[in-house]
Amino acid sequence: MKHGIVLAAPTIAGQVRVARRAEQAGFDSAWTIEFFNQNGHVRLAAVAAATESITVGNAIAYAFMRTPLLTASAAMDIDELSGGRMVLGLGSGTRSMNERWYSSEWQTPAPARMKEVVALVRAAFAASGGGGLKFEGKFYKANVPLYARPGMVRDSIPVYVAGVARPMVRAAAAVADGLVGHPVYTRKYIIDSVLPILEGSDCELAPYVICSVSDDVEQARNEARMQIAFYFTTRLYHTILDAHGWRDRGEVIAAAFKRMDFSAMTAEVSDEMIDAIAITGRPDEVRDQLRQWDGLSEQVLLYPPTVGVAHERVSENLDAMVDTFAA
């Protein structure tokens, strides 16, 4: 199993430092995230320029808040900086994120729109040698007669798509090289709802796995508990809970979040939920726990909890993850 690390350190300098350590430790890949206060492409460019051999990717960058041509040019720039080590990971974000954070119009159906984004991005890659670019779709149109992109390192760049519910997973299976699995994917959800859709496609699964490494096992589990609670404040992700009959827990968490009752949110995340989603504890324990993903994916993206966790502890956990899973 290949190990990737999600660079959730709060600063660019911190992400670069961890990426270099992961590269030296034999990790296969390092991935940046995107949020309202972090630009995933800029951060990935910094990581690409500071490393030499490790695969670098977005897990994920927002697909709908940028035009596909801006996304394609960012990917080609980072691929050039890295010497051909870039993986472009795209996610739709929720409707609320699109509208409230970025003043971006939400158009449905999102899976069909995502498929068009990927098609136009790939068309830009294909047109990099010159001859112009023309694309006509339902959501996007592009007409650039003089389109070219000198210096492109590869003919194409791998594109991954993030998905939770089955329609977006099907979209990924249809058009993407990989599916970025959500941090609250459970192994049962992967087996029952994800792998059957990917079967027969060229789309590989790259699931996030929430990881908290500490000799203080209770601390590690509570960090994972807070991260899981944060994600289930979004009802869109309750599809995963349905696989276990945990929908009621999700509703309690979402209601508690509306009241800003963080204690009630985290209290609703059971030990069973943690064990189904995350790996927590001492180094030998998390190594053993990760073996439960054997056969489900060829690579996992190890992800440190950040919600309610001090920045210093996030960095400490990232270092512990690198040390624990060094080749």
**pLDDT given for residue 32 in this prediction:** 98
50-60: pLDDT as tens digits: 999 999 999 99
Residue 111, both tokens: 């899976």
DSSP sequence for 147-180: ---TT-SSS---EEEEESSHHHHHHHHHH-SEEE
Provide the CA 37 distance to its chain's centre, in angstroms. 16
295-325: pLDDT as tens digits: 999 999 999 999 999 999 999 999 999 999 9
Q: Residue 251 falls within a domain, yes or no?
A: no
Q: Residue 173 falls within a domain, yes or no?
A: yes
Q: Residue 11 falls within a domain, yes or no?
A: yes
Looking at the 3D structure of the chain, how many domains does it have? 1
With a threshold of 0.95, does the pTM exceed it?
A: yes
Q: Residue 305 falls within a domain, yes or no?
A: yes
Q: Residue 277 falls within a domain, yes or no?
A: no
Q: Residue 306 falls within a domain, yes or no?
A: yes
Residues (pLDDT < 70) of the chain are none
**pLDDT given for residue 311 in this prediction:** 97
Which residues, listed in sequence order, are joined to residue 101 by a DSSP beta bridge?
none
**pLDDT given for residue 4 in this prediction:** 98
**pLDDT given for residue 201 in this prediction:** 98
Q: Residue 314 falls within a domain, yes or no?
A: yes
**pLDDT given for residue 310 in this prediction:** 97
82-119: pLDDT as tens digits: 999 999 999 999 999 999 999 999 999 999 999 999 99
Domain that holds residue 117: 2-211+285-324
44-79: burial string, b at 16+ Cβ within 10 Å, e else: bbbbbebbeebbbbbbbbbbbbbebbebbbbbbbbb
**pLDDT given for residue 152 in this prediction:** 94
CATH code, domain with 24: 3.20.20.30
Q: Residue 273 falls within a domain, yes or no?
A: no
